[in-house]
Chains A and B, each alone.
Chain A
Amino acid sequence: MSSSIPPAVEVDELRRTFGEIEAVRGISFTVAPGEVFGFLGPNGAGKSTTINMLCTLLAPTSGSARINGFDVVAERDAVRRQIGLVFQDPTLDVQLTAAQNLRLHAELYGIDAGAIEARIDRMLALVGLADRRDQRVLTFSGGMKRRLEIARGLLHSPRVLFLDEPTIGLDPQTRSSIWGYLRALQESEGTTIFMTTHYMDEAEYCDRIAIMDRGDIVVLDTPEALKAGVGADRVTLGTADDAAALDALRERFGIEASLAEGAVTFHVDGGGEFVPRLFASLGVPITSVAVSRPTLDDVFLRYTGTTIRDAESAGGDEAHRAMMRAMAGARR
């Protein structure tokens, strides 16, 4: 029996094009039941397109995807019964109370009427909104609304919960509290969580991460393994002449540095010990220096050659991304 449990998410050569543009270029991966899986990448990388295909909201151009063994195209209804969704944009009825929103959801999902109230109470308690049960959502803060949406997404006991940028637009403190709730919910409900984010620090909450860039998965592993793969410390320099500094690093230290977010950036083992040597023999005035242990930002930099923030403001891809966003918007 146990050998026949299907993966929570199974994706094979999934592809989606919008006219000329290839938004998702034939990606494959699996997510195990109970896993917290993160999709990380800049805006326009194809994350939302992928999640929309997995949620049956968008038909794949080619390839296949199965949720809990059910095909997202051929068994759409079955898939919809298995999944919960938290969208990027809010989808609450703010005129209704928290409980009314949840009750409506339960009714639409055909939950046994006798179980609804107990289930609502439990979910509201889990996201810390029990005392707001009968207040209109109109009066809620952004973080409270998000928590309510997460409670709603899990209300019908889905096997997989999809969250598309669940913490976008929230302040850092609220974001980390949302993650606290999500982790607690995942543990008590045993739900598989599949989420997208473009906040690097949030990827740390995941069991495994797929980094996506320009429609492709560039790397997929645990956060620890990804960071270990980068290995070395990151050194960020402010200099009087960045171009000269890049040349000097190559000639004198054999280091290929790059310009990221306006600073000379490179990776080196034992960064702390390296800095004194740098000052002694770089030959270009240094105005600032920072050494940091590898983070997922470094992982992204290592695999894509750019930081996530630079990737989002890159002029060359701006038109492409604007188009992707327009298409995502038009589908709503």
Chain B
Amino acid sequence: MSAVADVVAVRVPERTLRSEARAVRTVWRRDMIRFLANRGQTMTWLVQPLLFLFVLGSGLQPLSDASTGGADLKTFIFPGVVCVAVLFTAMISAASLVWDRELGFLKEMTIAPVSRTSIILGKLAGGATIAAAQGVIVLALAGLVGVPYAPGLVAGALALIVLVAFAVTAFGVLVAVSIRQAQSFTWVMQLVVFPMFFLSGALYPVAGLPAWLEILTKLNPLTYAVDPMRRLVFAHADVTDTGTLDAGVTWFGRQVPALVEAGLVFAIGLALLGVAVRRFARAAEG
């Protein structure tokens, strides 16, 4: 009988919005499977942020006592370190797109009857999820550096973590679709990502900087993610006399509202994503 054939022969339906959504989920799920299988490898990207937090934070404490008015340096750099953990992981996760191309798997995805936008969105969702997870791990250490687990703080920090994860992964995906070799990613990390980290105010207050450093800091998109995170932490942490530590970013002498900063980061992320989608759609196969 043909009963067996009826069960096993399948049909490929026409593309619909639903099938595209399924493709996004599928690409995302693959990255999740890989992440869970290689957790340890991804975790190594937490080592550096944690060194900054605990080693630099503790080591420089005697130097900073004079100027922080008694505030713990670890508390001060904690919000920055959360952002940096997300930054590194998001870039490394996005780089997997380059490896997919180099190892041939990208071809399997691009030849499928799905739109390239869905593939990019799936990779973005995957990278951002992994990056946000790393941010949450660091956030969970708040108690060790004198930051309380206040509901308002945790909720706000989670929202900012997701925002940074989205924006940086969008940037990483754009880099990934623009370069031809996995090696080039190392250069981007050295020439773009590390400077971005240092110029974000993650390790120093953004008020009262030398002019050149202030300009570079204000031009750095990451600054606008670190700043609201720091204000959030300081609003809840037990720090008296914060002085200029959380003075925040100013434009023309006025403090930039946290929501504006967050909106700016979101807008930049969207723009980067838009360019990445267009580039990927136009790129030669794979």
Which A residues fall within an 8 A CB radius of B? Answer: 55-58, 77, 80-82, 85, 87, 89-96, 100, 104-112, 115, 118-119, 122, 155-158, 330-332
Asked if B22 and A110 make an inter-chain contact with CB atoms under 8 angstroms apart, the answer reads yes
Q: How far is the CA of A155 from the CA of B108 in the complex (A)?
A: 13
- Report which of A56, A100, A110 forms a contact with B12, defined as CB distance below 8 A: A110
Q: How far is the CA of A109 from the CA of B10 in the complex (A)?
A: 10
**Nearest B residue to A121 by beta-carbon distance?**
B8
Q: How far is the CA of A158 from the CA of B107 in the complex (A)?
A: 18
Which residues of the partner chain A approach B34 to less than 8 Å between Cβ atoms? 93, 95-96
13 further contact pairs, Cβ within 8 A, besides A57-B111, A100-B30, A109-B112? A57-B285, A58-B285, A81-B13, A82-B12, A93-B30, A93-B34, A96-B30, A107-B22, A110-B13, A112-B10, A119-B10, A158-B12, A331-B285
Q: Is B254 an interface residue (CB 8 A)?
A: no
Against A, the Cβ 8 Å flags (1 = close, 0 = not) of B96-109 are: 00000101110111
Against A, the Cβ 8 Å flags (1 = close, 0 = not) of B1-21 are: 000000111111111000100
- Report which of B108, B114, B285 forms a contact with A332, defined as CB distance below 8 A: B285
Asked if A112 and B111 make an inter-chain contact with CB atoms under 8 angstroms apart, the answer reads no
Q: Is B137 an interface residue (CB 8 A)?
A: no
- Report which of B26, B101, B113 forms a contact with A104, defined as CB distance below 8 A: B26
Asked if B112 and A122 make an inter-chain contact with CB atoms under 8 angstroms apart, the answer reads no
Against A, the Cβ 8 Å flags (1 = close, 0 = not) of B205-231 are: 000000000000000000000000000
Q: How far is the CA of A206 from the CA of B92 in the complex (A)?
A: 46
Instruction: Report A106 CB to chain B, min CB distance, Å.
Output: 8
Q: How far is the CA of A94 from the CA of B37 in the complex (A)?
A: 12
Asked if A91 and B22 make an inter-chain contact with CB atoms under 8 angstroms apart, the answer reads no
B contacts with A, residue count (CB < 8 A): 34
Which residues of the partner chain A approach B285 to less than 8 Å between Cβ atoms? 57-58, 331-332
Known contacts A109-B112, A110-B12: A331-B37 contact under CB 8 Å: no
Which residues of the partner chain B approach A108 to less than 8 Å between Cβ atoms? 23, 26, 109, 112-114
Instruction: Report A145 CB to chain B, min CB distance, Å.
Output: 11
Q: How far is the CA of A89 from the CA of B33 in the complex (A)?
A: 23
Asked if B26 and A91 make an inter-chain contact with CB atoms under 8 angstroms apart, the answer reads no
Against A, the Cβ 8 Å flags (1 = close, 0 = not) of B138-152 are: 000000000000000
Which residues of the partner chain B approach A115 to less than 8 Å between Cβ atoms? 7-8, 10
Q: How far is the CA of A87 from the CA of B110 in the complex (A)?
A: 13
Q: Nearest 4 CB-CB pairs, A to B?
A: A107-B26, A108-B112, A81-B12, A91-B104
A-B contact count (CB 8 A): 99
Which residues of the partner chain A approach B7 to less than 8 Å between Cβ atoms? 115, 118
- Report which of B33, B103, B104 forms a contact with A100, defined as CB distance below 8 A: B33
Asked if A87 and B30 make an inter-chain contact with CB atoms under 8 angstroms apart, the answer reads no
Known contacts A156-B10, A331-B286: A85-B111 contact under CB 8 Å: yes
Asked if A92 and B10 make an inter-chain contact with CB atoms under 8 angstroms apart, the answer reads no
Asked if A95 and B38 make an inter-chain contact with CB atoms under 8 angstroms apart, the answer reads yes
Q: How far is the CA of A273 from the CA of B103 in the complex (A)?
A: 55
Asked if A109 and B107 make an inter-chain contact with CB atoms under 8 angstroms apart, the answer reads no
Q: Is B191 an interface residue (CB 8 A)?
A: no
- Report which of A92, A112, A155, A331 forms a contact with B11, defined as CB distance below 8 A: A112
Which residues of the partner chain A approach B26 to less than 8 Å between Cβ atoms? 104, 107-108
**Nearest B residue to A101 by beta-carbon distance?**
B108
Q: How far is the CA of A108 from the CA of B122 in the complex (A)?
A: 12
Asked if B22 and A122 make an inter-chain contact with CB atoms under 8 angstroms apart, the answer reads no
Known contacts A80-B111, A91-B107, A332-B107: A111-B12 contact under CB 8 Å: yes
Q: How far is the CA of A77 from the CA of B285 in the complex (A)?
A: 15
Which residues of the partner chain A approach B111 to less than 8 Å between Cβ atoms? 55-57, 80, 85
Q: How far is the CA of A153 from the CA of B22 in the complex (A)?
A: 20
Which residues of the partner chain A approach B19 to less than 8 Å between Cβ atoms? 110
Asked if B12 and A92 make an inter-chain contact with CB atoms under 8 angstroms apart, the answer reads no
Please name 17 pairs of A and B residues whose Cβ atoms are closer than 8 Å in the assembled complex, sorted by A: A81-B12, A85-B111, A89-B104, A92-B108, A93-B108, A100-B33, A104-B29, A109-B113, A110-B12, A110-B13, A118-B8, A119-B8, A119-B10, A155-B10, A156-B10, A156-B12, A157-B11
Asked if A81 and B104 make an inter-chain contact with CB atoms under 8 angstroms apart, the answer reads no
Q: Is B192 an interface residue (CB 8 A)?
A: no
